[in-house]
């Protein structure tokens, strides 16, 4: 069976399996050390269940969005396994790790409006997942200022992704306008008024 004749559910399962193998030894920064694979699967889940996104390329890219940035995966490998469209979406969502962190963050804000619609979808769902994680439990080594700065920075990134999915935009707006997070047992607004 050629890759183009695989039904969409099979294509998505292939992406999940590939990402699970690539991220198998990685953990999230929460106190429980949650398996990292929960994150990319969660990003695809947000797209499907909360954003009503049914595009198979966008869903595969959501599952694969951190493979090049955080594992030994190459863009060529992604294209071979999943095709050019998925490769391109992942490329748009991948930071250049050779650059300093501050420059990578600046470029995410600057480049967000220039991304394809499918990359914007993945970027918004990725930020929703990360922001919800921060709302539940910021990493132990993060200061209160770092948490606040992340919310402000994420808002700048996702503001550049507007116009492709009102449902995801509404979720983000709710987090920014009325969301809270807990830090050292005290509750704070995600974005200070």
Q: Would you please indicate which residues are annotated as catalytic (active-site) residues?
A: 69-70
Distance separating alpha carbons of residues 162 and 160, to the nearest angstrom? 6
Residue 102 CA, distance from chain mean position: 18
User: Which two structure tokens, joined as six digits, stand for 91?
Assistant: 């490329």
Cβ neighbours, 10 Å, residue 186: 8
Give first-to-last CA distance, the chain, whole Å: 56
Cβ neighbours, 10 Å, residue 136: 10
What length does the chain have?
193
Cβ neighbours, 10 Å, residue 114: 10
Query: Measured between alpha carbons, how far is residue 67 from residues 40, 61, 76 in Å?
Result: 9, 10, 12
């Amino acid at each position: 069976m050629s890759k183009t004749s695989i039904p969409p559910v099979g294509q998505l399962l292939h992406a999940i399996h590939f990402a699970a193998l690539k991220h198998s030894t990685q953990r999230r920064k929460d106190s429980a050390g949650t398996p990292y694979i929960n994150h990319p699967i969660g990003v695809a889940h947000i797209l499907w269940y909360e954003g009503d996104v049914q595009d198979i390329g966008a869903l595969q890219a959501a599952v694969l969005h951190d493979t090049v940035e955080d594992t030994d995966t190459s863009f060529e490998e992604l294209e071979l396994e999943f095709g050019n469209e998925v490769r391109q979406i992942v490329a748009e969502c991948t930071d250049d790790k050779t650059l300093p962190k501050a420059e990578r963050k600046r470029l995410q804000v600057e480049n967000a409006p220039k991304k394809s619609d499918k990359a914007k979808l993945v970027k918004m769902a990725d930020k929703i997942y990360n922001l919800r994680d921060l709302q539940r439990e910021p990493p132990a080594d993060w200061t209160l200022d770092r948490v606040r700065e992340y919310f402000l920075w994420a808002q700048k990134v996702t503001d550049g992704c507007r116009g492709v999915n009102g449902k995801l935009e509404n979720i983000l707006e709710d987090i920014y306008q009325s969301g809270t997070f807990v830090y050292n047992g005290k509750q704070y607004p995600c974005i200070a008024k």
